[in-house]
Structure 1
Amino acid sequence: MSRLVAVSNRVADPRNAAAGGLAVALGETLNATGGLWFGWSGRVVETAQGGTPGEGELHLQHAGDVTLATVDLSREDHDAYYLGYSNGVLWPVFHYRVDLADFDAGHLNVYRRVNQLFARKLAPLLRPDDMIWIHDYHLIPLAAELRAMGCGQRIGFFLHIPLPPPPILTTIPQHEWLMRALFAYDLIGFQSQADLEHFARYAQSEAGAEPMGDHRYRAFHRTVRAQAFPIGIDVDEFVSLGKGHEAQETYEMMMAQYARRRLLLGVDRMDYSKGLPERLKAFQALLAQYPENRSSATLIQIAAPSRESVDAYADLRRQLEGMSGAINGEYGELDWMPIRYIHRTTSRRRLPGLCRAARVALVTPLRDGMNLVAKEYIAAQDPDDPGVLVLSRFAGAAEQLKEALLVNPYDIQGTAQAIQQALHMPLAERQSRHQKLLENIRAQDVHWWSREYLRSLAESDQG
């Protein structure tokens, strides 16, 4: 078996299940192959004397049989590569928010420079028969930089966020260079069929790519294979987490405190892609149109802090705080607040208990690559008395989770009606929907995702 080399913006110890889905997904193969995981160290160092960015120090450490290789970034490189281009251009445009993109030409130059730095640090660590799996929008040009240095290994890429259609993608200055870089890969993975179709349209209309059959496209003297691989969760791990002390304690506390209420739950990062203002408006419409829910339904909305130094995120926080206060002021009673808004991160160990206590989960992003909270909510439910998932049709998860109540989050009245349907859904229908949803997330869990992607990469033609 070839050694797996994983590359991502941030690196985690694959032995730690709490490190996140990517660590769980990659951990098995990394351990089995004595693999290497490469990425940014998370450290920002001061600019070198004379004002020029430093080269970035390489750190090597071992996590069992896995080697972790990380590189420091200078302040200038971090701010332009990570904040400026990755999250100031690619993140908003890929989430269909061109209006929030900052197309500063200098950011692109540093984005490429950091990818060149990563290539220089990674290349000497590679073996001829390695299989390289690069992750996410921060590192789109990394394979092209490795190829320029003579690397001929199989290299795959997976985009964890959405890919927009060509009319939006082409708003990025030098989008041709960015998308050309994708053809340096042997396999490109997307979260959904919609993302795959957007790539195919761009490749053919903008890059003049020739369809070769079997999901392959040829352009720029290279052939790349593109497929959808919807990422999943470790269902058994999340179910086991739900049996832990903190999850049980959270569930019992919520059931005791809200014995007379029906709980609705939203768990998100504070991000403009998550549709949080629209969600609060839909809940407000629910209370206005269906007054029987007053003093009966409570929405717990957790919005974990994210990029708070960015103006768009600070504005969103102020908007949510104002809306929550206004709705509570209009509808609240002495013994009932309609919305419990929490701007803090919730412990992962408590999350299953919180999910199980909620009669309805609201997962209503305006655009999302996948959204694993939707799948975690399903895994946490009591199959004898499950809750209902209200899911945006614009989340990648909607392609798989068709038994959820799918909504258009821009349609405030329609979302309110779906919430009302969820709150009053008969037990038999809830059980039937949940059974099918659970079967789906078990069939395509995070281990399936990793296994299928790596099998396809191993079978891909090179070049």
Structure 2
Amino acid sequence: MSRLIVVSNRVPDIAKGPPAGGLAVALKAALDKHGGVWMGWSGKSSGAKEPGPLHFHEQGPITFALSDLSRRDLSEYYAGFANSVLWPLCHYRLDLTDYARKDMAGYFRVNRFFAERLRPLIQPDDLIWIHDYHLIPIASELRRLGIGNRIGFFMHIPWPPPDVFLTLPVHEAIIGSLTAYDVVGFQTAHDAENFASCLQREGIGGDAGDGWLEAYGRRFRAGAFPIGIATREFAGLARQAVRTAPVKRFADSLEGRDLIIGVDRLDYSKGLTHRIDAYERFLTANPAWHGRTTMLQVTPKSRSDVPGYAAMQRQVAEHAGRVNGALGRLDWVPIRYVNRAIGQNVLAGLYRLARVGLVTPLRDGMNLVAKEFVAAQDPEDPGVLVLSRFAGAARELDGAILVNPYDIEAVGNAIAQALSMPVEARRDRLAPMMKRLEEHDISRWCADFLDVLRG
């Protein structure tokens, strides 16, 4: 059996125990099965002008190969080109892209560094699987070094249409790098279509039929591989979590009020201020619900080294404070805003308590919070998911109330509809979504991609 090599921007810290999060768990399970290498950034700065050497840690059949990055690398590769250019571009925010040629050079330099360090670790039959927008050029760098192994890539965030993507000054270098892979996976068929359209618009390549594309004389596959979660495990975790002391204390503090929950990393793509405004609109239009609902918004800090994120944190807090000041009472605070991470075991219990899950990003590759909320529900008395139609999950979770997150009034109306929905209708909406999540869980996503990569 071929070994598997995984390369991702961040690698779980095995010294802290088993990895948290469905993706890390699935990739580790695949590596446990096949044996191989997991390579990436350690999450630390070397403090030097150059990246640090690889540090190796063995855990069973897996070799973890980690490298510190220099301060310049973190500034140019990570905070610069990856998160100040590619991230906003792929989320359709051209107004927030901050392109600098030195950051672009740093991005390609770090990818070349990873490829050069990876090359001696590769055996002839290894499958290589690269993850996400930080590492797009790795395959082309490996091909330049003479590596002929099968290499796959998965894009965890959206891929924009040509009119958006082609505004990138180095768009041909980025899209050309993707043609060096044997399989390019996206979250949705729409993303895959956008990618193919970019190739065609530029005259680089085109559709060769049956999921194949052709560019620069190479044939490769591109398609949708919607990522899942560990559905049964998360459902079991939620059943147990509602009986834990932290979740019980929170439930008691609600004093019988219906819970509306949102959980998002602090990012402009999540539509956090739009969501708070929609909840305010719901309360303004439905005064009978005053004092009967509580909105909990959990928003851990994110990318504090990227300009604009600190200002965004203040803006979200100010929105929540304004609503609480205008509508709150001595015995009721409409919005509870938590600006730090909460453990998955507690979150699972909070999802199960909630009458409404509010997942309204302005754009999202998939959004696993939506899937976790569904998996956590009590099938006898489930909550209702209000979901942005611009999240990849909207293409699978057809039992959700789909909304346009830019339409504040419509989202407010969706909250009212969800809170008023009879239990029979809620059960009817949950059942097919739960079946879908059980059949297409994270393990199947991993297996399906690797099956295609093997050819």
Short-chain TM bin: over 0.9
Which of 121, 124, 127 pairs up with 2:120? 124
The residue correspondences of 1:334-345 to structure 2 (distance < 5 A) are 334-345=330-341
Matched, 1:358 2:354: yes
Query: Which string of whole-angstrom CA distances, capped at 9 and with x for unpartnered residues, describes residues 25-78 of structure 1?
Result: 11222111211101112221123xxxxx32531111112221101122111112
Number of residue pairs aligned between Structure 1 and Structure 2: 454
- What's the counterpart of residue 275 of structure 1? 271
Contact 2:264–2:270 under 8 Å retained in 1: yes
Between 64-73 and 124-133, report the one with greater CA deviation.
64-73
Is 1:22 the equivalent of 2:23?
yes
Cα deviation for residue 247 of structure 1 reads 6.1
Between the aligned partners of 1:246 and 1:38, the Cα distance in structure 2 is 37
Structure 1 residue matching 2:244: 3-state secondary structure: helix
Please give the secondary structure, in 1, of the residue aligned with 2:387. strand
- Taking a change above 3 Å as real, the CA distance of residues 370 and 446 of structure 1, as seen in their structure-2 partners, is same
Question: 1:234-282 deviations in whole A, cap 9, x for unaligned?
Answer: 0122123224468633432233221331110000101000000000010
Q: After the TM superposition, which residues 175-214 of structure 1 pair with which residues of structure 2 at under 5 Å, given as runs?
A: 175-214=171-210
Match of 2:235 in 1: 239
- In the alignment, what sits opposite 2:96? 100
Deviates more, 1:306-315 or 1:14-23: 14-23
| Alignment RMSD (CA, Å) | 1.4
CA distance in 2, matches of 1:195, 1:67: 33
1:251 corresponds to 2:252? no
- The 3 A distance-change label for structure 1 pair 448 and 17 is farther
Query: Residue 164 of structure 1 corresponds to which residue in structure 2?
Result: 160
Q: 1:252 to 1:445 in 2, by over 3 A?
A: same
Match of 1:396 in 2: 392
- SS where residue 256 of structure 2 aligns? coil
Find out whether 1:425 has 2:413 as its counterpart: no
Q: Give deviations 1:169-215, integer Å, cap 9, x for gaps.
A: 01111100110000000000000111111011111111431321111
The 1-side partners of 2:206 and 2:359 are apart by 38
Q: Distance in 1 between matches of 2:233 and 2:278?
A: 33
1:72 to 68, 72, 82: 68
Question: Which residue pairs with 1:37 in the alignment?
Answer: 38
Runs of 4+ aligned structure 1 residues displaced above 6 Å come to: none
2:261 alignment partner in structure 1: 265
Q: State the distance in 1 between where 2:278 and 2:42 align.
A: 41
Contact kept, 8 Å, 2:79 with 2:305, in 1: the verdict is: no
Unaligned 5+ segments in structure 1 are: 48-52
* Distance (Å, rounded) in 2 between the aligned partners of 1:270 and 1:211: 38
Hey, what does 1:6 align to over in structure 2? 6
| Cα deviation, residue 352, structure 1 | 0.9
For 2:150, give the aligned amino acid.
R
Q: State the alpha-carbon separation in 2 of the partners of residues 9 and 95 from structure 1.
A: 19
Measured against aligned partners, the alpha-carbon deviations of 1:200-234 in whole angstroms (never above 9, x if no partner) come to 11111114313211111111121121010000100
Which residue type is aligned with residue 91 of structure 2?
H
Instruction: Indicate the larger mover: 252-261 or 169-178.
Output: 252-261
What is the alpha-carbon distance in structure 2 between the residues aligned to residue 422 and residue 55 of structure 1?
51
Q: Does 1:452 align with 2:452?
A: no
What is the 5 A alignment of 1:367-386? 367-386=363-382
TM-score for both structures, normalised by structure 2: 0.97
Q: Retained in 2: the 8 A contact 1:119–1:146?
A: yes
The letter of the residue matching 2:192 is L
Q: In structure 2, the residue corresponding to 1:269 is in which secondary structure?
A: coil
SS in 2 for 1:349: helix
Q: Is the 8 A contact 1:250 1:353 kept in 2?
A: no
Contact 1:13 1:19 in 2 (8 A): no
- Distance (Å, rounded) in 1 between the aligned partners of 2:132 and 2:143: 18
Q: Distance between the aligned counterparts of 2:231 and 2:242, measured in 1?
A: 18
2:320 is equivalent to residue 319 of structure 1: no
2: CA distance, partners of 1:293 / 1:6: 50
Tell me the distance in 2 between the aligned counterparts of 1:222 and 1:297. Answer: 57
Q: Secondary structure at the match of 1:354?
A: helix
Q: TM-score, normalised by structure 1?
A: 0.95
Instruction: Specify the SS of the correspondent of 1:6.
Output: strand
Q: Whole-Å Cα distance in 2 between the matches of residues 98 and 288 of structure 1?
A: 33
- Report the 3-state secondary structure (helix = DSSP H, G, I; strand = E; otherwise coil) of the residue aligned with 2:322: helix
How far does residue 13 in structure 1 lie from its aligned partner after superposition? 5.7
**Correspondence for 1:226 among 222, 229, 233:** 222
Say if 2:311 is the partner of 1:310: no
Q: Does 1:411 align with 2:407?
A: yes
Partners in 2 of 1:12 and 1:314 — Cα distance? Answer: 26
Question: Which range moved further: 291-300 or 179-188?
Answer: 291-300
Change (3 A) 1:143 1:265: same
Task: Give me the whole-angstrom Cα distance separating, in 2, the residues matched to 1:55 and 1:379.
Answer: 41
Moved more, 6-15 or 312-321: 6-15
Greater shift, 300-309 or 355-364, is seen at 300-309
CA contact (8 A) 1:262 1:298 kept: yes
- One-letter amino acid of the structure 1 residue matched with residue 194 of structure 2: H
Amino acid at match of 1:146: L
The answer to whether the aligner puts 1:58 opposite 2:58 as a matched pair is no
Contact 2:189 2:224 in 1 (8 A): yes
Deviates more, 1:360-369 or 1:288-297: 288-297
For residue 67 of structure 1, give the secondary structure of its aligned residue in structure 2: strand
Q: Which amino acid aligns with 2:21?
A: G
